[in-house]
Structure 1
């Protein structure tokens, strides 16, 4: 299992507050399928959006990152989580 750290930027004009992390976490679990390998999600509010750690089961880090980004693409495509965009990875 690999920990994938990400920052989501709030691209809307509404305040993020505590609803932002809950919206993102809910969207991730709603979109996750067994092939994503998602084990755990940690989300916290940041001034610029949401900090995320996705714990992903995969054979190596590269596969875990690909799975995490594919899941995020689906989760951020609609619903309340669509107000966020993935910041460029470090």
Structure 2
């Protein structure tokens, strides 16, 4: 199981709340298909948006990041209002 660290940055510069972080975490779980192999997700409000750590079952860090990217692409492509106004950055 490998961690993937991401940040959802707010476009409007406002601080995110823990309620918004929980809504993002719920959206992640709602879109986590078995092929992603998501084991654990943790979202927290941070000064510039929402910090997200996804733990996925993968052989390499690159594979874990690819799986997380696919999952977040599905979340962003959905009608999940919780991610509108955010952009996604991966941390290395």
Q: Smaller-chain TM-score range?
A: 0.7 to 0.9
In 1, the alpha carbon distance for the partners of 2:39 and 2:45 equals: 21
* Aligned position for 2:4: 4
Question: What is the deviation of 1:12?
Answer: 4.7
Gaps (5+ residues) in structure 1?
none
TM-score normalized by structure 2?
Answer: 0.85
Q: Which moved more, 1:57-66 or 1:73-82?
A: 73-82
Confirm whether residue 33 of structure 1 aligns to residue 5 of structure 2.
Answer: no
Contact 1:37 1:57 in 2 (8 A): yes
Aligned to 1:85: 87
The normalised TM-score by structure 1 is 0.87
Aligned residues: 90
Cα offset, 1:14, TM superposition: 6.4
Runs of 4+ in 1 over 6 A off after TM superposition: none
Alignment of 1:1-90 (within 5 A): 1-12=1-12, 16-77=16-77, 78-83=79-84, 84-87=86-89, 89-90=91-92
Structure 2: segments with no counterpart, 5+ residues: none
The offset of 1:29, in angstroms, is 0.4
The Cα of 1:17 is off from its aligned counterpart by 1.4
Tell whether the 8 Å contact from 1:76 to 1:85 is kept in structure 2 after alignment: no
Measure the CA separation in 2 of the matches of 1:23 and 1:39.
Answer: 18
